[in-house]
Structure 1
Amino acid sequence: MAGRTGPEREAVVDTSVLHALLVEEDPHHGPAALLASRIAAVVPSSVVHELVWSLRRRLGAAAAGSRVGWLLARGVRVEPVRLDDVWFALRDPRRYEDLLVVSVARRLGLPLATLDRGMARLAARHGVELLPIPGAPGAHGRAGEETGQA
């Protein structure tokens, strides 16, 4: 993500953005890479798991491991999901994974970067600021398309 010389700001980043960053063929790779150069990423621990599963399905186990390892070596902050995040997410088990991410952003008081419109709506509904992604279509990506999330 951003260099150690002082990115613009911290933001919670969801699976859709990280998937686009790590898969060059993803149509949102460019916007995700630009965003990554401008922020200090805070990645909920649940997102790391989703990212490995998503990349493993798309690219195979070896590529998934090396790409996520590359990302972690760049100094992203992995934020553990806490019990209060789990309770928050259990409000709607159908959106459990997304609500975990929203809860972490709320708890830390950080904006959320996502390419997933459904996640963006959910975050806004819970008072989480959305970080615009330069060059992404619309405000926050595509509705109804694969976002790389499990």
Structure 2
Amino acid sequence: MPDLFLSLKLAHLLAAILMVGATVINGLIHNRARQAPSSKAGAMLSIVIAVNSYVMGPALLALPLTGGALIWAAGYDFKALWVWLSVALSILLIAAYVFGARLERRLYEIAMSTERAGEASLPVQYDRVFRKAAPVGVAALLMSLATLGLMVFKPY
């Protein structure tokens, strides 16, 4: 019979890998879509939306659930500073996910409407929305890495 703690740890690690990986992939695709003709940008951004829906979102939900279960199973103190910092960063990551998903949906809509209008390049409006979305993605990546550091090193 599989060990509960190790099973939770595996699920938690896989969720963390998927979330960080999805964040990096999204950034790479966004960079390519921004430089692509409108006929390709919409397709690229549809991949970002799919990655968010099927990979990042579920991983982001699994992390606090498995993390809480791991803290309980390992007997760590829920009052420890590293736990509270991890919880705070998780809440901020969820907020960034919700806000970022709205911006990414808007980028997709702009790219698709530009393609339907037969315009070859993305409009200035796309860049304006992208300049709002990019810092959200960078912040999400940094928060993810900080949370990973807290989980691994438990400094407090």
Structure in which a larger fraction of residues adopt helix:
2
TM-score under structure 1 normalisation? Answer: 0.27
TM-score under structure 2 normalisation? Answer: 0.26
Structure in which a larger fraction of residues adopt strand:
1
Pick the structure with greater CA Rg.
Answer: 2
- Structure with greater contact order relative to length (CA < 8 Å, sep ≥ 6): 2
